[in-house]
Structure 1
Amino acid sequence: MDELLKPVSTVRINKSDDSAGLLRELSIQNQPSHTPQAKQKQQTTSPNSPEDALEILRHEPDYDLLIFVLRFLSRYESERLGFPSIKSPNPVNARLVQVLVSNIAPNYWPLLLEDANSGKNSGLKLLLHCLSSVTGVNAILLRLGALIQEAKSEAAGKTQRPDDALNLDIYLDLLCRVLQGNRWLIEAWEVAASGQDAPARVRPAVQLTLATLGSGRIISLSAEAEEIVKTSKLSRRAENIWLADSLQYTLWLGQNIATWLLSDMALKETKFASEFFVKARSLGHSDALIGHILEQLVLKDGTDPTRLSPLLSNLPQTTQRQVIFSILKLLSAKYLDRLGRCELEENKPLISAVSGALNLILGADENGRRHLVDWLTGSSGAGIGEGVAIRRAVIAVVSQNKDDIVAVLEKSLSQFGESLYIKHSPMLQQEAHAQVLLLSAGYVHRLWPIRLTMLLRSSVWLNAISNRLAAPHQRARFLGMVVGEGLSGLVDKGDKRLNFHMEETDEGEGLWYKGLTEVSDEIGPLDPLWKPQIKTRSKGDRPKPAKKPETRPATKPPQTGFIIEELSDEEAPEIDDIVPYAKPDSDPEDSDEDPTLIRRDKPKAPVYIRDLIKYLRDTDSYDHQKLALSTAPTLIRRKANYGTEVSEHADELASLLVGLSDRFEMPDFDELRLQGMIAIVVAKPHIMGQWFAKTFFEGDYSISQRAAILVVLGLSARELAGLERSDYTANAEFPSRRLPERVEKLYLSQSPSTSQSSSTLKPLPPNALDGIASSLTSSFLAPLAASAADAATGPDILKLSTVTSQLQEAEQRQEGLKGPRITKHKSLSKPRVRSIPNTTASLIATSFFSPLIARFQAALHASRSRGILFHSHLLALYLKTLALLVHAAGPSTLSLPEMTAELWRLLLGTSVRAAAVGDLAVTRAVLFGFMALLEVNENRMRDVCQELGREVVEAEEWTAGVFQRLRGGDEGEEEEGVKMLAAGVLVRLREGIEKWRLVLVGDLIGFG
């Protein structure tokens, strides 16, 4: 039995130390030993080949020998011993990597971490060097996948090994350390191309690199492993794994691509980076990837934007088009969006710098410049919702080629005058194309004036102006007039110039549109892009100078003594209004017996917008977050019309509120955050309405945050229209603008509607828009139910059966059969719709409704946004918001025909109707949209049937199909409510169709 037992270690004790006792403290050092015995051992076991190193690693060497072997594996290529590098793909290296990953890493990881800071030859750095290859990454991923499957199977059997989580933690840490750095692409290419003669043998190695790093396998395995590690009781990890975050991993890929493009390797091999870029875009963060590469190659001081040209030129045409459009959007958002209408001369250098960047990025690539022409004239709308500055920059680049700028002018003019385009395109898109048309006409007039003259003598020009003047929409006619006057002013002289003598074309916006023909931008240096950007106000946003206080003439003091006058009680001053502060007996903070609980550093409520922003950014302080959220609604409303604090920081403040998360689980967090965002929109509706609409489609936010944006837009529009009143409005008034309390009671007591205290703040329910929609639905169906009372009696007159009988009778009348005629009940009169000023209605149409409609239609063509927009809850809330905006604008708005046509066609869109199939929430939202349109257009149903004849009949057929498919009854309250709403919409539609049948005949010829 003695030969089976071997001693693990032998400790020799000097006899002279016996006085110290039998127990001694031994210190174990993990540093490499430099004793003669250790050196002799290394020499006897030193590897002479990779096979020897493999044999040593398999037999579990001690730490000193492990370091010696790792040093040999990491340097034998440099010493030219005749062996290939360990990073080269071959069978021996594959086995070496497998042993390092499976045996060495988990067993020696604590020792390697302790030795991590011992210099360049530390064990951890040597191990990472040996594994920093595609073979090493694949070996780690293979081991991670095996451990994940093992952990899942053990979790299913309720017997989980404790070392699974520890090993997963080790491999995650190892993978993160291996993949650090921005030279991975360069090293991977050098390994793939080294020692290979034929390009056919290099291609498989390149494809393996693309498949390993460009796919989502690393992200998925890392995220799954991280979840297992976090749920384990043995987990000690405090921070998240960056490989499990798809955004951080995408940015890491972008950094490696930028390093490749900046190196000399990009001049030799141009396709590799493009292929890797296409793979990286598929991870779901295309805009972030493009923005990071753009930041590294273009927007840094001293960079060379021409390095980006090889990447774009080797991309497929569809991908190249998408990338160029994304670059335009990023440049506009970063530099040009805040310029407004950019009339100021100081804005021209920045626009010229963006033009110069685009010109250098595209280089001599004709396909890229053709994509710019398509962007200006295509269905994307030349940057819908963005300022005119980006269009000026793109046209400055396109104007370098005379044929291209003429093509832009001809396509824009032909599209601008098409009747279908005028009828169906969103108004924001038509405004952008009108700006492109005017800008390109000015360039063509300066480059080739005879060409513009010939174009204005053609039938295309005459048909365009005729179709615009015959358009039913007022905004479409306005664009036709300003384009007609602007282009005619370039060619015609004297009395031949086209002049409509309209006030709206000769003032304000009309003069600005016509002035676009005189704009000329040049391609300039990139220096303005490298300077820190300062917010620039447009001409219309300049604060008005403060009025000087009126000086009253000084009065001479009386010559003789004092004048004593006796006042009656009514004329006596109200001395009681001035109440002095009572002297406090003691500080309430000192009442606590424990002095350690007394807080002297309690934050004070912010009184400036910059303090409010500072508090919102401090996400680690509960007191700051609570104070900021509770103060924001009142402070923003109070500062809205005093100074420029809100206007200068509105977008930053809105970004903080939208992206704020409830880390401390405040009970009223959602309500206060919504009220803060509503205050921003109400304070600056022209700017922030469009900002929130843009953020809803383009921001990187969750579904709940996007839903909050829609709620904010809906409630803000109703408050601006006077349909809702926030109690924060009264609290935000300055004391100097309020009457004394005693006098205020005299006036408030006379008005019962305002007798409530202004300090009573009503919280917003989580489904505020749903409550408003239900209220409007009830008011819409009430006259319908009352009319059914003429034909039925009993307690069930409001049930679905009564409305069903009414629908059957309406169908009989429509088919020509005799039946009882149903008339509206006169006893229950509809509440009168409030008529609001045209200024408010126009504001809702231009800053709220139009951006939401236009960006939705643009997002339909983007595959990235479709998945988010067509989420059931979000799509239903979006449609309800549009319907509430139309209802808030009211029947008195001049833009009602445009709003009605755009929303009606959106509700009948193929994508929306497909999403409504089998989804009661979306179906209810579509029906509510039709209900709001019918309610607002009650007095102009003839115009609706004349302008949207086909759409009215199509809506009636779709609603009838919905009514027939739904069962209703006692099977479900939700389905019964949807069927009730469908019945009401169907009755109103059929009443309109029957009444204006002759109007519909002309438009419905050939309708099937």
Structure 2
Amino acid sequence: MEGLLAPIKTTVRSDVVQQENFLVPVRTEPSHGRKQIFSVNGPEDTLEILKSEPDHDELSRVLRWLKATADAREGFNINIPSPQTAQVVYVLVNDIISDYWATSSGRNTNKSTGERLLVRCLSSVTGIGAIVARLRQLLDQLRAPQGQAEISGINRFQPLGILLDVLEATLDSDAFVASVWNDIYSYISEPSLKSLRWKEFVSLVASGKVLSIASEASLALDAVSESVANGNWVGNGFGYATWLGRNMKHMINTLLKDRVASDTALSQLLSKALNLGYTDHIVQAAFSDLLNGIDRSLEKVGNVISALSTHEQKLLVYSVIRVLSKRHLYRPQSTATNEVSGDKARGGVAALLVALIKTTQLHQDLLVDWLVGTSADAVGYCHNTHRAVILALSLDTDQMMKALQISLELFGDKLCIKHAPMLQQEVNAQILLMLVGYAYRTDKRSLTVLACSSIYLNAISNRIAASSPRARFLGMIVGTAVSQLVDSEDKKMVFSAEELSGSDGQWYAYLTNVNDKIGSISDLNPAQVPSVKCPGKTMTLVTRNIKPPRPTKALNTTSKIITIEEIDNGSESELEDLPMYEKPDSDPSDEDDDPTLLQRNRPTAPVYIQDLIAGLRDTENFDRHKLALTTASSLIRRKATFGTEVSDNIEGLATLLVGLSDKWGMEHFQKLRLQGMIAMLTAEPLRMGQWFSMTFYNGDYSMGQRASVLTTLGLGARELAGLGKEDAALTGANASENAFPSKRLPETLHKIYALEAAPMNALSQQLERNMIQPMAAEAADKFSGPNALKVRTFSSRMAAERKRQKPMPNALAKVVAEGFFFPLTGRWRIHLQANGEKSTHTTPFLLTHLLKTLSLILHASGPSTLSLPQMTAEFWDLLLSLRPRATDPSVLEALLFAFLTLLDINENDQRRLAEEHAKELLETQEWVGNVFERIGGGSEEGDRVRMLAAGVLMRTREVVERYQRMLMGDLVDFM
């Protein structure tokens, strides 16, 4: 076997061969995929480097070369659109940004040189368009269903956040728009191409493309995590509009090349921006110099506005009036200092409006339409704003007389008297009286002719014949004021009504003596006229500066020290029977083991309103903030009858409480906040009722905060009516805690909406039972048999007296119409007309809450309220107009409850309902009958709606059957 395996050949290697190195370097050529380029000589080299994954040095060299081309008039220019520019920008946005931007230290720090170069290369029409297109592409990818191989979680959103940061860094300059216009104007030779590129840029930044895509990206990031969301201002409408306005201001102040071309470009930009939805913010930022009394840019602004269309000019002028009203004309107090500054501010605002009209060649019909137009634009502004606009209009006598005639026609229109909100009628009367005064001083003859015309006579006659006491009051005021100016002593119109001699009547009569003087634009300088911020970022309507009388302080609220005597303690033996207690070893606050956790300086309860405001603002100190919120209600009620401390700070304190958020998750936070707001309302009912009504419609608040404002109005009104103790028993903090779990909102939403809705729901249910139970008892009594067979028990006189309820003083009845009811109903129609059907206030939650609040206020005012007829007419019109919105079950239930409350409160005056509201009564009966037939029973919700509908039907049929003969004529017309 050994011979089978024999070696054929044996070879022995030497040591030299064994030490040979087999890894020999081989000379290779550069690969075709990556070519070493040491200099950049054109866009081809740029594209090749960018596509080959360059390092920092190569990228920096390329970006410097691209930046250098930005000043080239011939050849390649990174800022001028071309096919090569589009390719370079596409690679920068899609590849380079995702690789290199994330290495920065953060968006809040200074960017590196490379990042600044990258931003400069993207600061063009092509760059912004590429970023927007890439953002849209990333959002489409996020909406697509996730595959198994796709990246999940937060990493999927990182490219979106990076690109949003790049967009913000690119736009983050007040000179951005001006630089783009300079590039287009300087480096493009063809005029048609210039116009085309500029229109493309305007369409991107001013028509909402950038804002909409950035907002969508921000919402997508917010939905993932707060840590991923960057909170970019470019996705916020207010911040973006302010940025756009600042860029317009920079163009107005700096662009001097070819004024005609720059003015045209600015007009195109402003025209698109006015339709963006944030007109006031754009105007406030773009024309801030003019609004602050600096008129150096007046000619430039006039040229820009003149190129706008008539509709756009109207939007701009109305926005200027809004901004000036908030900045210069709002005064919370009528002190002597404020009156002097108010005169100067009114003169300055009028001077600016006159200058804009003359410079831009606008027609003064815009001011006439604002004052007395059918759209009621003047409603919702403070009285100083009306005076300023009338002062600007008074320089043209023809236009002033035209406004006076239109106002008089609107004042005497029967439909307006019957259906227009009382708030609008009051504002029209005020404007009419001031126009009458100016007309008397400038053209007395024309005023005399107008006073003898049929327009004036019909207006006064229609007003005096109106069913509403307030409408008759306004008619008597206007008739008396005009007669005092144009008639002789023996022919002057005189009314013996007590309202004319009251403070309200005297204030209206004084309006004909208003004679402001025109000022100059420099009077609007903030250094000369102190600007007062309007609470809640809104405008306040102050029709009268009349404060309700303060309640008198009780006589036995203080004690008087008669004498101080020193009492002898006697012998020390008397102390022997007293028990001895050991001295505590330590302070109770030393219970914590860690000495660093002890808090020796604990906050004390606030004594003054300013201390309360400071404590509520101190959201970083939990103990102080909680103590301020806990004591807010008691302090406000205690200080309301002592001095002017509450009245001087009440609007600022109300703004703070309405916008207060629960940062600490405090127990009973909403209840304590609501108690403080109710305390302020009861301290100044008329003033704060109007303020809370204005805040509900115009304030920048959430739905929960608006609901709390309505709850404050409802509960505050009932407390003024003497029903506070009953509400305290019905609206406890734990009223909604025992609800069945399936009927509760998610915990996060339950904390927001629970307290805002629970008190009003509890009160409405209680009132429903109180109104329906007598009708049910009466119906059961009819079917129980003949009255002759019934046994009736008689109680003694003393027992009957004990059961009879004692009358309570109703302080609400004096201020309910002007302070609570009419501001809410009047602003509803105005707000709906201004904001359309998609307004937040038309949501079922807020609309239901509003209807219940108005119903509770009407019920609390009582059947003896003098303004009940006018409140009934306006509320009935509002309810009938809301019938198409009753598709939601909650709105339908609230609407039926409101109808039931309206009919119940007018039960003692059914004849007036039959005489003045016959059509409304028949329409209500027919609609509620259809609802009763359509809604089926068997469920809790259906039974509740049918119960309310049955109650309304019984009330309406009772009136119809009793006054059938009177209604027969109206019934024939209705059928």
> What's the TM-score once normalised by structure 1's chain length?
0.80
The answer (yes or no) to whether the contact 1:838–1:894 under 8 Å persists in 2 is no
Q: Which amino acid aligns with 1:212?
A: L
Identify the range of structure 1 (383-392 vs 709-718) with the bigger mean alpha-carbon deviation. 383-392
Q: Which of 391, 394, 398 does residue 396 from structure 1 map onto?
A: 391
Q: 1:471 to 1:541 in 2, by over 3 A?
A: closer
Q: Which residue in the other structure is 2:847 paired with?
A: 875
Q: Which residue in the other structure is 1:957 paired with?
A: 926
The answer (yes or no) to whether the contact 1:402–1:447 under 8 Å persists in 2 is yes
Q: Which residue in the other structure is 2:873 paired with?
A: 901
Q: Which residue in the other structure is 1:369 paired with?
A: 364
Q: Which of 242, 249, 271 does residue 240 from structure 2 map onto?
A: 249
Counterparts of 2:140 and 2:694, CA distance in 1: 43
Q: Which residue in the other structure is 1:23 paired with?
A: none
Q: Which of 467, 470, 492 does residue 472 from structure 1 map onto?
A: 467
> Is 1:715 matched with 2:711?
no
Counterparts of 1:882 and 1:505, CA distance in 2: 29
Q: 1:924 to 1:518 in 2, by over 3 A?
A: same
Q: Which amino acid aligns with 2:656?
A: L
Q: 1:790 to 1:78 in 2, by over 3 A?
A: closer
The answer (yes or no) to whether the contact 1:718–1:885 under 8 Å persists in 2 is yes
Q: Which of 851, 861, 864 does residue 892 from structure 1 map onto?
A: 864
Post-superposition CA distance 1:259-315 (Å, at most 9, x none): 233343675343443443454444443443344445454126676455544454444
> Is 1:334 matched with 2:327?
yes
Q: Secondary structure at the match of 1:189?
A: helix
Q: Which of 770, 773, 783 does residue 782 from structure 1 map onto?
A: 773
Q: Which amino acid aligns with 2:774?
A: P
> Is 1:704 matched with 2:704?
yes
Counterparts of 2:302 and 2:791, CA distance in 1: 71
Q: Which residue in the other structure is 1:533 paired with?
A: 531
> Is 1:141 matched with 2:135?
no
The answer (yes or no) to whether the contact 1:946–1:1003 under 8 Å persists in 2 is no
Counterparts of 1:296 and 1:278, CA distance in 2: 20
Counterparts of 1:133 and 1:98, CA distance in 2: 13
Q: Secondary structure at the match of 2:475?
A: helix
Q: Which of 43, 47, 58 does residue 51 from structure 2 map onto?
A: 58
Q: 1:248 to 1:953 in 2, by over 3 A?
A: same
Q: Which of 738, 757, 773 does residue 764 from structure 2 map onto?
A: 773
The answer (yes or no) to whether the contact 2:711–2:756 under 8 Å persists in 1 is no
The answer (yes or no) to whether the contact 1:435–1:516 under 8 Å persists in 2 is yes
Q: Which residue in the other structure is 1:658 paired with?
A: 658
Q: Secondary structure at the match of 2:200?
A: helix
Post-superposition CA distance 1:317-345 (Å, at most 9, x none): 33433443333233333333326789955
Q: 1:66 to 1:300 in 2, by over 3 A?
A: farther
Q: 1:1005 to 1:838 in 2, by over 3 A?
A: farther
> Is 1:980 matched with 2:947?
yes
Post-superposition CA distance 1:717-762 (Å, at most 9, x none): 1111111249999xxxxxxxxxxxxxxxxxxxxxxxxxxxxxxxxx
Q: Which of 80, 85, 88 does residue 96 from structure 1 map onto?
A: 88
Q: Which of 848, 851, 862 does residue 834 from structure 2 map onto?
A: 862
> Is 1:421 matched with 2:427?
no
Q: Which residue in the other structure is 1:852 paired with?
A: 824
Counterparts of 1:130 and 1:516, CA distance in 2: 62
Counterparts of 1:113 and 1:500, CA distance in 2: 78
Counterparts of 2:837 and 2:644, CA distance in 1: 35
Q: 1:210 to 1:975 in 2, by over 3 A?
A: farther
Counterparts of 1:717 and 1:843, CA distance in 2: 10
> What's the TM-score once normalised by structure 2's chain length?
0.82
Q: Which amino acid aligns with 2:829?
A: Q
Post-superposition CA distance 1:520-557 (Å, at most 9, x none): 1122123255133369999756999x99xxxxxxxxx9
Post-superposition CA distance 1:456-500 (Å, at most 9, x none): 122222222222221111111111111111111111232222222
Q: Which of 439, 445, 453 does residue 444 from structure 1 map onto?
A: 439
Q: Which amino acid aligns with 1:958?
A: W
Q: Which amino acid aligns with 1:991?
A: E
Structure 1 residue runs of 5 or longer lacking an equivalent are 10-40, 548-556, 566-580, 730-762, 795-819
Q: Which residue in the other structure is 2:640 paired with?
A: 640
Q: 1:270 to 1:564 in 2, by over 3 A?
A: closer
> Is 1:203 matched with 2:195?
yes
Q: Which residue in the other structure is 2:313 paired with?
A: 320
The answer (yes or no) to whether the contact 2:848–2:890 under 8 Å persists in 1 is yes
Q: Which amino acid aligns with 1:412?
A: S
Structure 2 residue runs of 5 or longer lacking an equivalent are 1-21, 535-541, 554-562, 568-580, 730-753, 795-799
Identify the range of structure 1 (334-343 vs 62-71) with the bigger mean alpha-carbon deviation. 334-343
Post-superposition CA distance 1:81-125 (Å, at most 9, x none): x32421110011111111222222222335566999999x92111
Q: Which amino acid aligns with 1:270?
A: D
Q: Which amino acid aligns with 1:921?
A: S
Q: Which residue in the other structure is 1:46 paired with?
A: 39
> Is 1:619 matched with 2:612?
no
Alignment of 1:526-925 (within 5 A): 526-531=522-527, 532-533=530-531, 586-725=586-725, 766-790=757-781, 792=783, 840-863=812-835, 866-909=838-881, 912-916=882-886, 918-925=887-894
The answer (yes or no) to whether the contact 1:786–1:825 under 8 Å persists in 2 is no
Query: Cα distance, 1:357 vs. partner?
Result: 2.5
Counterparts of 2:905 and 2:806, CA distance in 1: 11
Identify the range of structure 1 (975-984 vs 615-624) with the bigger mean alpha-carbon deviation. 615-624
Counterparts of 2:525 and 2:629, CA distance in 1: 35
Q: 1:3 to 1:1007 in 2, by over 3 A?
A: farther
Counterparts of 1:622 and 1:510, CA distance in 2: 50
Identify the range of structure 1 (401-410 vs 838-847) with the bigger mean alpha-carbon deviation. 838-847
Query: Cα distance, 1:873 vs. partner?
Result: 1.1
Counterparts of 2:416 and 2:793, CA distance in 1: 45
Counterparts of 2:107 and 2:318, CA distance in 1: 50
Post-superposition CA distance 1:196-221 (Å, at most 9, x none): 45543333323321332234443444
Alignment of 1:166-315 (within 5 A): 166-226=158-218, 229=221, 239-264=230-255, 267-299=260-292, 304=297, 307-315=300-308
Counterparts of 1:229 and 1:427, CA distance in 2: 47
Higher RCO structure, 1 or 2 (CA under 8 Å, sep 6+): 2
Counterparts of 1:284 and 1:435, CA distance in 2: 31
Counterparts of 1:689 and 1:118, CA distance in 2: 50
Q: Which residue in the other structure is 1:495 paired with?
A: 490
Q: Which amino acid aligns with 1:375?
A: W
Alignment of 1:352-367 (within 5 A): 352-365=347-360, 367=362
Q: Secondary structure at the match of 2:960?
A: helix
Q: 1:330 to 1:136 in 2, by over 3 A?
A: same
Q: 1:884 to 1:539 in 2, by over 3 A?
A: closer
The answer (yes or no) to whether the contact 1:47–1:53 under 8 Å persists in 2 is yes
Post-superposition CA distance 1:230-270 (Å, at most 9, x none): 6768x965852222322222222222233233343675343
Q: 1:129 to 1:631 in 2, by over 3 A?
A: same
Counterparts of 1:842 and 1:785, CA distance in 2: 34
Query: Cα distance, 1:879 vs. partner?
Result: 1.1
Q: Which amino acid aligns with 1:62?
A: D
Q: Which amino acid aligns with 1:913?
A: R
RMSD: 4.0
Query: Cα distance, 1:704 vs. partner?
Result: 1.5
Post-superposition CA distance 1:629-660 (Å, at most 9, x none): 21211121122122222212212111121112
Q: Which residue in the other structure is 1:800 paired with?
A: none
Counterparts of 2:793 and 2:436, CA distance in 1: 61
